[in-house]
Amino acid sequence: MQNQGLGSWIHRQRVKSGSKTALIFRDSSISYAELDARINRLASVLRANGVEHGSRVAFLGDNHPAFLETFFAAGSLGAVFVPLNTRLAPPEIQYALQDSGSIILVNTLALDDLAVRGARETGVELRLLVDDGSGAASAEAGSLPVQAYEDCFSTDAPFADAEVSLEDGAIILYTSGTTGRPKGALLTHANLAWNCFNVLVDYDVAGDDVALMISPLFHVASLDMGVLPNLLKGATVILETRFEPGRTLELIEKYRATFISGVPTTYQLLCEHPDWPKRDISSLRKLTCGGSAVPLRVIDAYEERGLGFSNGYGMTETAPGATALPPSRSREKAGSAGIPHFFTSVRVTRPDGAVAAAGEVGEVQISGPNVIKSYWNRPEATEESFTDGSWFRSGDMGYFDGDGFLFISDRLKDMIISGGENIYPAEVEQIISELEAVSGVAVIGIPDEKWGEVPKAIITLRDGYALDPAEVPAHLDGRVARYKIPKTVEIVPEFPRTASGKIRKADLRREHAG
């Protein structure tokens, strides 16, 4: 077999687990053998429409078997998969499609209007429309050829078996840019595979696991910390279109789920739901969490049910795991991001590049086979993101305690994490600055009980101008994803600034934290 990449995984797993259930979606089951056959047929259609080694194939849709079928079909051809965040606005979708050079877009019916508007004036040559039962296709006239996704499965096809190396690109994930434009993180098959190996070692994923995936697959945490490791072991994956606490508790009980992953908000909403004490969740063995530390009150609620968290730290560029906190230490080391994953190295450095001492705050840097080698078509960004050859500069500030546990103390890049979604202020600030009345703007994260933190815009005005705060979200609406739109807007006479004139965002965060 020439394909060494992830595109061959289901084909290989078919031999071991052919009749075993691979996926469950809306109470329908797909075996490993059936999934392999669908992937092969889809790959054949993609190839007939010009997809070859190195081509980019995009997907826009909520969690659905078609997401994984497209991922593996692209991988079997040596093509690069480009999953798109469903919460983005049309201009953001358009940018990702143009920047990646995607030639095929697979999208669900529910998001057809967004797909039509986002694919305009891009290099997309064909759209495959997935009927997810949500209604009719977009009423807007689209100039691109459209084919029904299910028509791809009318004839049998052999496994593509293209020549694919572990070092070939597997997926491009767009991360919000610190300079206003998203960057495409190019993860190789090796990056994804080694992250899976870390998960297998540190979370003890087993072939009899039943993983309930309630977080969006277009985030690498859900894909590579949850779905791919479980499929690699021949486990069963349940796909939920979106997270709903009551239904999640119902599915855990119904399917005896053993594995779930999410962000602190996910777990908080579950334990605060009225059905929490009524449902049998005794099957759960693994709860993975990322994005921020889990509040003690949430830890308490789960410990009362005999459950603990594997809290972790990482980012898209590390595929995404960097560290993990064992459940047995979640209370003792509350607030910690844990210890480095088994095949990953993490260090904290001083401004001069020297390794910091225990307890000393510095920049967190990561190295290992799960770390990206480059951003898509962004050599300058790639060069700026690495130091000493292979150490990725996270931009996060933190320290190791005396026991070797990492604590994240601040975010050098000012990134906001709201309900597990990353928000880079520069992107939002750039658009707010277009308003004629605005002379200066700073977007910061402020604490929020439900989402962890939410964005707030602080604005100064030009002399002689007035601004209704409601104009700011109205100006952003349709331009950026809704979770990026500031929940509050405050107009101030001036900003605290450094001697060089830069806004002191740390001062703003302290001032507006309450």
Q: Are the C-beta atoms of residues 40 and 74 closer than 8 Å to each other?
A: no
CB neighbour list of residue 288: distance below 8 Å, 6 or more residues apart:
203, 225, 226, 259, 260, 261, 262, 309, 310, 311, 312
**Does any domain span residue 197?**
no
End-to-end CA distance of the chain: 59
Task: Tell me the C-alpha distance between 197 and 329, whole Å.
Answer: 22
Coil, strand or helix at 171 = strand
Instruction: Please identify, among 187, 217, 247, the residue that sits at the C-terminal boundary of a domain.
Output: 187
Q: Give CA 101 to chain center in angstroms.
A: 21
Instruction: Please identify, among 162, 187, 212, the residue that sits at the C-terminal boundary of a domain.
Output: 187
**What is the token pair recorded at 118?**
């986002």
pLDDT at 30: 98
Q: pLDDT tens across 180-226, in order?
A: 688 999 999 999 999 999 999 999 999 999 999 999 999 999 999 99
pLDDT at 334: 84
**Does any domain span residue 336?**
no
Q: pLDDT tens across 15-29, in order?
A: 999 999 999 999 999
Whether the pLDDT of residue 177 is over 60: the answer is no
Whether the pLDDT of residue 409 is over 90: the answer is no
Coil, strand or helix at 24 = strand
For strands 28-31 and 21-25, give the pairing: antiparallel
Whether the pLDDT of residue 68 is over 90: the answer is yes
Report field, pTM of the whole predicted structure over 0.85: yes
Count helices and strands (H / E) in the chain. 15, 27
Task: Tell me the C-alpha distance between 327 and 288, whole Å.
Answer: 9
Whether the pLDDT of residue 494 is over 80: the answer is yes
Percent of the chain with pLDDT over 70: 97
pLDDT at 141: 65
Task: Tell me the C-alpha distance between 482 and 423, whole Å.
Answer: 11
Reported residue count of the chain is: 514
Nearest Cα to Cα of residue 35 among 236, 241, 192, 205:
236
pLDDT at 508: 92
Coil, strand or helix at 138 = coil
Q: Are the C-beta atoms of residues 337 and 313 closer than 8 Å to each other?
A: yes
Q: What is the domain range of residue 44? A: 6-16+33-187
Number of other residues whose CB lies within 10 A of the CB of residue 446: 17
Question: Residue 381 carries which side chain, given as an amino acid letter?
Answer: A
The pLDDT confidence band at residue 420, using thresholds 50, 70 and 90, is confident
Task: Tell me the C-alpha distance between 315 and 422, whole Å.
Answer: 10
Residue labelled with tokens 């039962």 = 133
Q: Are the C-beta atoms of residues 196 and 170 closer than 8 Å to each other?
A: no
Task: Tell me the C-alpha distance between 418 and 422, whole Å.
Answer: 7
Nearest Cα to Cα of residue 310 among 291, 287, 333, 332:
287
Q: pLDDT tens across 318-352, in order?
A: 999 999 999 999 889 988 999 999 999 999 999 99
Whether the pLDDT of residue 430 is over 90: the answer is no
Which comes out higher in pLDDT, residue 386 or 177?
Answer: 386
Number of other residues whose CB lies within 10 A of the CB of residue 486: 25
Using a 10 angstrom Cβ sphere, with 0-12 exposed, 13-18 middle and 19 or more buried, the burial of residue 49 is middle
Q: Distance of CA 50 to CAs 168, 223, 428, 501, Å?
A: 19, 26, 37, 52
Q: Are the C-beta atoms of residues 171 and 100 closer than 8 Å to each other?
A: no
The pLDDT confidence band at residue 179, using thresholds 50, 70 and 90, is low
**Does any domain span residue 477?**
yes
**Does any domain span residue 194?**
no
Directed axis angle between helix 264-271 and helix 245-255, to 10°? 80
pLDDT at 43: 98
Task: Tell me the C-alpha distance between 427 and 35, whole Å.
Answer: 39
**Does any domain span residue 500?**
yes
CATH number at residue 458: 3.30.300.30
Q: Are the C-beta atoms of residues 408 and 397 closer than 8 Å to each other?
A: yes
**Does any domain span residue 137?**
yes
**Does any domain span residue 217?**
no
Whether the pLDDT of residue 271 is over 90: the answer is yes
Instruction: Please identify, among 138, 166, 187, the residue that sits at the C-terminal boundary of a domain.
Output: 187
**Does any domain span residue 456?**
yes
Average of per-residue pLDDT across 83-93: 94
Whether the pLDDT of residue 500 is over 60: the answer is no
CATH number at residue 157: 3.40.50.980
- Looking at the structure of the chain, the number of domains it has is 2
Identify the helix (H) or strand (E) that includes residue 196: helix 189-203
